[in-house]
Each structure stands twice: as C-alpha cells, then as structure tokens.
C-alpha cells in the first residue's frame, strides 16, 4: 500500500497575543524551587532565540541554571525544536537540533545499534542541555564527558549572529560552550559522534560493600576492567558502616551473550501526587536505605540488564521529585581530586553524615581526567552526589561542604547547584577568569543570563 | 502538530509528503522524517500556503506524483490569534477566518475530488474545541473552526458510503509554538499525546475525535451550559 500523508505547516501566530495573567507564572527545574518567569515554547529555535536571554531543554538540571534572571527575560524552551537532521550510519556522525532528547535518540537508535557516547543518569535531557552541562556518566573514567564527542555546534550569539564553532573554528567559543551553562550563546544544532553497540543489553555486576574504604578500593579495582562503574552509598549510616552501599559495574553485552530478543520497552509509572513535606524525613529515609541495601541479598550479582534499568533507574518513576513535596530539594555534587587521596573522601562522608540533611539518593563515581570544556565539571578524582531536601539548615550544610571542597581543591557541579555562594565558587574555580574573559568577548553586554549567573557570576538582575 | 503526526507515519514505514510555507524548514523536517526509519523513509515536500488557494492543485499534484497517488491527507495548518488581537485588527480577522474556514474548505474540496476519483481515502482535518460553543475569549477564531467542523461533519455524512473517511480533530489546548505565551489551562495536552490520538482515530476511521480525551467531557459540559451562564462567565 502506498500511503501518503500531506501535512500543512504550523499556523502563524500573532506574537503579540501573550496576555498578562495573575498570579505571575513561574518556572521551576527538577529541584522544584520556582522562579518567576515563563518559557516560550517553539518549533523554530533559530528564529525564537533572537533576543533571548536563556534556553532551557527539559528542565532536568536541579538548580537555577535553567531559570530566568528576571521574570521578563525571554526564556526559550527548546524541547519541540527536535529534528534529527543527518545520520551517517557508516561513521556514526549525527546532526540534530538542540531540543532532541536522549529518550528519543534511544528510542529510535538503540534498536539500530547506536547509543550516545555519554549518558547522564536520566534520559530526559536534550542535546543542548547535555552540551551546556557537559554531562558525564558511568563511563567518565574511560570516555570523558559528552563534550569530548561533540564535533560542531551551531549557535545564536548575543549579537544576534549565527555562527558555527568546533575544535577548528571559533575554538574558544566551542570549548567555552561545553559546560558553559548556556551563557556564551544559544546552542541551535549539535553534531556529535554516536557509538556502535554490540547488542541492546548491558552485562552488569553488582557488589554489596560494607563501608567507604571497601567502596573506594572497589571503585579503583573495577575501573580499569569495566567501561562503566558507579556506586550507591547509604550516606545515613554512621560509625563502622559509614559509606556502605552497592557498587555497580557494566559493559555492553556482546552479541553472543545477549538474548536474541530486544529489551522490553521500559515500564514507566508516574509518581501520582506531591507528598507532604514531612513524608521524606530522616526516619523514612533510613528505612528506605536499609531496605535498599539488604535487598541486595547476595554479596555479588552478575547478569544482564536493560539499558533503561542500568542507566536510568529513576526514570522508571516519572515525576519522582514529587516525593520531596512542595519545599523542593537540591543535589549537592562535588568532585574531590585524586591528589587529595581517599582520606579526603572519607572525611567528606564523615562531614556529610555529621551535618545531616542527606536523603536516600547518594551516588559515588570515580572520574577520569578533566575535559577541555572551560567550566566542565569533572576532574580526576571521586565525584559524590547527594540529594537534600530544602530546609532552614540547607544553606549552612552547603556552605560547610563547600568550605571542605575548597580546602581539598575540589569543585561543585553547576547543573545541580542552587545554594553555592559566589565567593565559594570563585575560590574553588581557578578557571573562572578564563570563562569570564570568554563572556567579555562573546557577550560583553551580558545579554545571556540565568538566575544562576546572577547568583554566581554577579550578572545584573 | 503536523510534525508529530508525520513522524508516527514515517516511523511505521509510510511514505510522506509535506506541504508548508517555508522551503528550508520543510527540507529540515523531511530530513528528520527520513532518519526515523531504519530504511530511510521516503519523504517529499512542496511549498503550499493556505492564503493562496491558487497553489493548492499544483501542491497536490506534486504530492500525487511523489507518492504515486496519495490516499491520506492530514491538514493541521491554521492561523491563530487572540481575541484581543483580532478585535484590534479587522484585516487580521479577515485573514484568519479566510484561512481557517474558506481556504481550508477549498483545500479539502480539492482533496475530496481526488480521493473520490480513486475510490476513496482518508481526510483528517484539525478543527478545534473552540468551535463547539461561542465563547468570549475565542469568539472569532472559534467561529472559523465552527464552520469548518460543520463542513467536515457534512462531508462525512455525504461521502462515507463512497469510501471517503473524514476525521474531524478537535484538540483542546495543546502546548505547542502556536499557544506559546498563553497560560495552559487544566487538561492541556502535549503534541505527542495528541498525535497518538489522531493517528489512532485516523486508522479506525473515526469521524470525530476530541484530544486529549478528557476534552470530550469538558466540551459536553460547556455545550450544555445555558446561554445566560455563558454570558456571565469568562471562558
């Protein structure tokens, strides 16, 4: 049957139709703390980014990097600017608009034997966001960040021009944009290298570990042998079991190991309601952690997993951030340099358990060498990420953790951050002057800004 | 919306031909559709403007030539503007009602002739829940869609037996570039969800589909409200 469908284009919209509404609309990111403002949803990113202060993808960054500096700043939502423009199935060269999501790429291309070279812990991110955050994943110790696999970017600059940049052309703009939180220009189009995978299954091994020392030893032991590693830490347990958890390592299964059937489509449940603020408290969090730890009955387990279960366990529950209630939450993620030694990690865990405020989600991962992105987060060492509900105590906890991170020469991940003070960021980020010089060159009037750039870089609000 | 529907068709292996305003944009959309199928979907395109009915026949000729006689036509195009903008600009009102009603009907008449001549086919047209009742905030836009809905219903009654399957799509509020800047009401839908509903209705030959489905219920209530209530309330 030859079926044809004729689709006539989207309607022309009178741009002046926006109405003033009351109460003022707000935007929020994954951490649920709102900021006044609205997003402009568009299918035509190139046209809509004229005069824009900020682009945002799926709003999965935890903090305020995707939130407007001022309520009337033009914030462009990229998620419908999501066309795949070119796929070379010989070489793995992909070109797509910035709003294409990883979920969509996986849905379309996993069955065809292609996977993103680097994936964060959620597939609900856009390519533009992956560039702006220079995301890292379980394979960082081997493959670096997403930015290391990007070939070329097409960008709308603050002066309204559109340029391309790559390691050969406008090199400084290219490396500044990778991990640059969208502040040097709006990413319109991303060209990157996809990776051939031998099967659609993951061969994984998990191991229950008793404390932080065993954890660090385990991460060090598995990293050379496994392309992907990470660990879940119970950061509510004190004393001799401080830092107990589950260490996971994995690789793509070979065609011989993998079942012939493709993985079943992921079952997605929706977290149905916003829980009250008190629902997730130290008692319930500890109960959860103990159950989660002992669910892993066997000391070691090895077998096949679906990519969704391996990479995106939390994506199985849509809107899981509702568990934190209306108060919202943040994630504290830092990386401690290898040079500071395992003692620094142990001390950090001790400080974390002492300060309190931690929740069930705490992830540890060792990182490979620093990438070329000017503000890219990872550096060689140990990364620790922990969710924390917003409370009157939170600022003090973050300040204390930051003071420790500065002392040992580590740094924090802007994509997760909403509470770091500007002076703390300056102290932990020797690369900051280089980034500010790039902003002076590409956006001297600071037309591009976010709530985060006001807080951390001191942009005018 | 057209993009989301075309993707579903291309992904299941159908040949697609796009009509739209901007050639460069059509080229990008065609590339996207092509890459969505393992064997590279067959996708063509031509420029067509609902404000220029004289171009309709040539555009459909191009589609017929590329597809080897099309058998399904999906019309998602329309103009949208707020009631305030329309009341402030009579010329804009003239353009909008012409595009949404007169020219869309003319386009459908071209399609109807072609499909009937080849023994039938499917015509899917986006109208709107705004056409179900005269409402203050969408009076003019809604009236253009009311006319279109009545036309599509009559088309279904008259030609169903001859093999023409007509589907009138009544989307509620959908979060797309068209509604950017408007505050989404309760039950606002996402384009992917609406596209799923539309393709399902098209495949089953349903003459009328509200999407997201909850809008069938919402409109049932709104249609049954007495006039004196409608005059009082703001929506």
The 10s digit of each residue's pLDDT in B84-101 is 999 999 999 999 999 999
The confidence score (pLDDT) of residue A11 equals 47
Quote the CA–CA distance of A325 and A277 in Å, as a whole number. 5
Domains, chain A: 202-428 (3.30.70.2520)
Phi, psi of A73 (to 5 degrees): -65, 145
Residue A164 backbone class (left: φ over 0; alpha: ψ -120 to 50; beta: rest): beta
β-pairing, A114-115 with A195-196?
antiparallel
Angle of helix B104-117 relative to helix B56-67, nearest 10 degrees, comes to 40
User: Averaged over B37-66, what is the pLDDT?
Assistant: 95
Taking an 8 Å cut-off on Cβ atoms, the answer to whether A21 and B183 are in contact is: yes
Taking an 8 Å cut-off on Cβ atoms, the answer to whether A2 and B28 are in contact is: no
Query: In whole angstroms, how far apart are CA A408 and each of A216, A347, A381, A382, A420?
Result: 17, 11, 11, 12, 17
Q: Quickly count: other Cβ atoms within 10 Å of residue A87's Cβ.
A: 23
Element (DSSP H or E) covering residue A422: helix A422-428
The confidence score (pLDDT) of residue B35 equals 95
- Of A3, A87, A111, which has the smallest distance from its Cβ to B72's Cβ? A3
- Of B1, B32, B64, which has the smallest distance from its Cβ to A10's Cβ? B1
The answer to whether residue A108 neighbours chain B at the CB level (below 8 Å) is yes
**Chain A interface mutation, best of B70, B180, B235, highest count of A Cβ atoms under 10 Å:** B180
A84: closest CA among B11, B191, B63, B72? Answer: B11
Quote the CA–CA distance of B63 and B78 in Å, as a whole number. 20
The alpha-carbon gap from B223 to the nearest alpha carbon of chain A, in Å, equals 26
Taking an 8 Å cut-off on Cβ atoms, the answer to whether A5 and B17 are in contact is: yes
- Of B19, B22, B182, which has the smallest distance from its Cβ to A7's Cβ? B19
Taking an 8 Å cut-off on Cβ atoms, the answer to whether B14 and A42 are in contact is: no
Quote the CA–CA distance of B131 and B178 in Å, as a whole number. 17
Least confident of A159-163, A210-214, B203-207, B208-212: A210-214
* pLDDT score of B74 more than 70: yes
The confidence score (pLDDT) of residue A247 equals 94
Task: List the 286-305 stretch of A: residues with Cβ below 8 A of B.
Answer: none
User: Averaged over B156-181, what is the pLDDT?
Assistant: 93
Under 8 Å CB-to-CB from A245, ≥6 apart: which residues?
Answer: A208, A209, A215, A231, A232, A233, A234, A293, A362, A364
- Of B2, B60, B182, which has the smallest distance from its Cβ to A10's Cβ? B2
Cβ neighbours of A268 in B, within 8 Å: none
Quote the CA–CA distance of A149 and A376 in Å, as a whole number. 14
Per-residue pLDDT of chain A (461 residues; tens, 9 = 90+): 444 555 444 444 444 444 444 678 889 999 888 899 999 999 999 999 999 999 999 999 999 999 999 999 999 999 999 999 999 999 999 999 999 999 999 999 999 999 999 999 999 999 999 999 999 999 999 999 999 999 999 999 999 999 999 999 999 999 999 999 999 999 999 999 999 999 999 999 999 999 888 988 999 899 999 999 999 988 888 778 888 899 999 999 999 999 989 998 888 888 888 888 888 888 888 888 888 888 776 788 899 999 999 999 888 888 888 888 888 889 999 999 999 989 999 999 989 888 887 777 789 999 999 999 999 999 999 999 999 989 999 999 999 999 999 999 999 999 999 999 999 999 999 999 999 999 999 999 999 999 999 999 999 98
Q: Quickly count: other Cβ atoms within 10 Å of residue A19's Cβ.
A: 11
Cβ neighbours of A19 in B, within 8 Å: 82, 84, 181-183
Taking an 8 Å cut-off on Cβ atoms, the answer to whether B35 and A86 are in contact is: yes
The confidence score (pLDDT) of residue A19 equals 43
The answer to whether residue A283 neighbours chain B at the CB level (below 8 Å) is no
Confidence class of residue B181 from pLDDT cuts 50, 70 and 90? confident
The nearest alpha carbon in chain B to A74 belongs to B181
Q: How many CA within 13 A on the CB side of residue A63? A: 24
Cβ neighbours of A11 in B, within 8 Å: 77-80, 178
Taking an 8 Å cut-off on Cβ atoms, the answer to whether A13 and B36 are in contact is: no
- Of A2, A14, A42, which has the smallest distance from its Cβ to B67's Cβ? A2
Taking an 8 Å cut-off on Cβ atoms, the answer to whether A112 and B70 are in contact is: no
Q: Quote the DSSP letter at residue B13.
A: T
Phi, psi of B176 (to 5 degrees): -135, 180
Taking an 8 Å cut-off on Cβ atoms, the answer to whether A4 and B67 are in contact is: yes
Query: In whole angstroms, how far apart are CA B187 and each of A156, B27, B171, B183?
Result: 34, 33, 11, 12
β-pairing, A26-28 with A186-193?
unpaired
The alpha-carbon gap from B158 to the nearest alpha carbon of chain A, in Å, equals 23
**Chain B interface mutation, best of A1, A2, A3, A7, highest count of B Cβ atoms under 10 Å:** A7
Element (DSSP H or E) covering residue B201: helix B191-204
The confidence score (pLDDT) of residue A22 equals 63
User: Helix-strand-coil percent breakdown of chain B, rounded to 5?
Assistant: 55, 15, 30
- Of B63, B85, B107, which has the smallest distance from its Cβ to A14's Cβ? B85
β-pairing, B43-47 with B16-20?
parallel
Taking an 8 Å cut-off on Cβ atoms, the answer to whether B72 and A83 are in contact is: no
State the DSSP string of A54-98.
Answer: EEESS--SSSSTTS-SSTTS-EEE-TT---EEEEETTTTEEEEET
- Of A1, A9, A108, which has the smallest distance from its Cβ to B20's Cβ? A9
Confidence class of residue B156 from pLDDT cuts 50, 70 and 90? very high
Q: How many CA within 13 A on the CB side of residue A211? A: 9
The answer to whether residue A13 neighbours chain B at the CB level (below 8 Å) is yes
A51: its two tokens: 């005069």
Q: Which residue has the tokens 């012939």?
A: A260
Contact criterion met (CB below 8 Å) for A115 and A194: yes
The 10s digit of each residue's pLDDT in B98-123 is 999 999 999 999 999 999 999 999 99
- Of B28, B77, B80, which has the smallest distance from its Cβ to A83's Cβ? B28
Element (DSSP H or E) covering residue B56: helix B56-67
A415: its two tokens: 């994509």
The nearest alpha carbon in chain B to A43 belongs to B177
- Of A8, A83, A108, which has the smallest distance from its Cβ to B19's Cβ? A8
Quote the CA–CA distance of B208 and B187 in Å, as a whole number. 19
**Chain B interface mutation, best of A9, A26, A75, highest count of B Cβ atoms under 10 Å:** A9
Mean pLDDT rounded to a whole number for chain B: 95
**Chain A interface mutation, best of B59, B115, B181, B195, highest count of A Cβ atoms under 10 Å:** B181
Under 8 Å CB-to-CB from A163, ≥6 apart: which residues?
Answer: A154, A155, A157, A170, A173, A185
Quote the CA–CA distance of B71 and B159 in Å, as a whole number. 15
3-state secondary structure A87-136: EECCCCEEEEECCCEHHHHHHHHCCCCEECCCCCCCCCCEHHHHHHCCCC
β-pairing, A245-252 with A202-209?
antiparallel
Taking an 8 Å cut-off on Cβ atoms, the answer to whether B5 and A42 are in contact is: no
């Amino acid at each position: 049957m030859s079926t044809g469908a004729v689709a006539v284009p989207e309607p022309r919209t009178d741009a002046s139709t926006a109405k003033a509404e009351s109460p003022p609309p707000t935007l929020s990111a994954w951490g649920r703390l709102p900021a006044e403002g609205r997003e402009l949803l568009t299918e035509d990113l190139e046209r809509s980014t004229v005069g824009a202060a900020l682009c945002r993808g799926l709003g999965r960054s935890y903090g305020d990097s995707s939130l407007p500096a001022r309520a009337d700043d033009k914030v462009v939502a990229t998620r419908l600017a999501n066309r795949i423009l070119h796929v070379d199935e010989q070489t793995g060269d992909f070109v797509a608009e910035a709003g294409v999501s990883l979920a969509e790429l996986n849905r379309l291309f996993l069955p065809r034997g292609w996977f993103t070279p680097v994936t964060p812990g959620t597939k609900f991110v856009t390519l533009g966001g992956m560039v702006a955050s220079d995301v890292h994943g379980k394979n960082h110790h081997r493959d670096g960040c997403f930015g290391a696999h990007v070939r070329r970017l097409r960008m709308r600059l603050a002066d309204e021009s559109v340029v391309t940049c790559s390691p050969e052309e406008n090199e400084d703009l290219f490396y500044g944009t990778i991990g640059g939180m969208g502040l040097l220009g709006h990413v319109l189009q991303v060209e990157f290298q996809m990776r051939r995978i031998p099967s659609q299954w993951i061969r994984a091994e998990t191991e229950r570990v008793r404390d932080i020392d065993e954890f660090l030893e385990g991460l060090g032991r598995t990293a050379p042998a496994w392309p992907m590693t990470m660990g879940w830490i119970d950061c509510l347990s004190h004393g001799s079991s401080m830092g107990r958890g589950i260490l996971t390592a994995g690789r793509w299964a070979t065609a011989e190991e993998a079942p012939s059937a493709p993985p079943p489509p992921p079952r997605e449940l929706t977290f149905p309601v916003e829980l009250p603020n008190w629902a997730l408290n130290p008692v319930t969090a500890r109960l959860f952690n103990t159950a989660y730890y002992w669910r892993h009955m066997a000391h070691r387990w090895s077998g096949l997993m679906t990519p969704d279960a391996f990479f995106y366990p939390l994506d199985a529950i849509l809107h899981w951030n509702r568990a934190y209630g209306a108060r919202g939450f943040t994630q504290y993620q830092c990386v401690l340099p290898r040079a500071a030694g395992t003692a620094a990690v142990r001390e950090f865990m001790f400080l974390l358990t002492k300060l309190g405020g931690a929740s069930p989600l705490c992830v540890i991962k060792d990182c490979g060498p620093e990438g070329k992105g000017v503000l890219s987060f990872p550096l060689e060492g140990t990364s620790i990420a922990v969710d924390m509900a917003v409370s009157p105590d939170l600022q003090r906890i973050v300040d204390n953790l930051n003071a420790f991170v500065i002392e040992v020469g580590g740094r924090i991940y802007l994509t997760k951050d909403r509470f770091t003070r500007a002076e703390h960021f300056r102290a932990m980020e020797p690369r900051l002057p280089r980034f500010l010089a790039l902003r002076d060159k590409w956006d001297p009037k600071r037309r591009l800004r976010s709530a985060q750039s006001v807080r951390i870089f001191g942009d005018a609000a | 919306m057209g993009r989301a529907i075309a993707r579903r068709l291309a992904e299941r292996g159908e040949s697609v031909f796009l009509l739209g305003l901007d050639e460069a944009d059509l080229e990008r959309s065609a590339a996207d559709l092509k890459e969505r199928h393992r064997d590279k979907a067959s996708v063509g395109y031509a420029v067509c403007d609902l404000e220029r009915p004289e171009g309709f026949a040539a555009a459909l000729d191009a589609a017929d030539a590329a597809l080897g006689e099309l058998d399904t036509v999906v019309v998602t195009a329309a103009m949208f503007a707020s009631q305030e903008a329309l009341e402030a600009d009579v010329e804009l009102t003239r353009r909008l009602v012409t595009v949404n009603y007169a020219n869309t009907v003319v386009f459908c008449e071209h399609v109807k002739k072609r499909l009937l001549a080849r023994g039938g086919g499917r015509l899917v047209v986006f109208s709107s829940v705004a056409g179900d009742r005269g409402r203050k905030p969408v009076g003019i836009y809604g009236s253009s869609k009311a006319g279109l809905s009545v036309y599509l219903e009559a088309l279904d009654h008259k030609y169903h037996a001859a093999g023409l399957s007509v589907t009138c799509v009544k989307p509620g509020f959908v979060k797309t570039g068209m509604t950017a800047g408007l505050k989404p009401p309760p039950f606002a839908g996402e384009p992917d969800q609406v596209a799923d509903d539309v393709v399902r209705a098209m495949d089953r030959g349903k003459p009328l589909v509200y999407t997201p489905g909850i809008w069938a219920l919402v409109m049932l209530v709104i249609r049954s409200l007495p006039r004196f209530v409608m005059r009082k309330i703001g929506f």
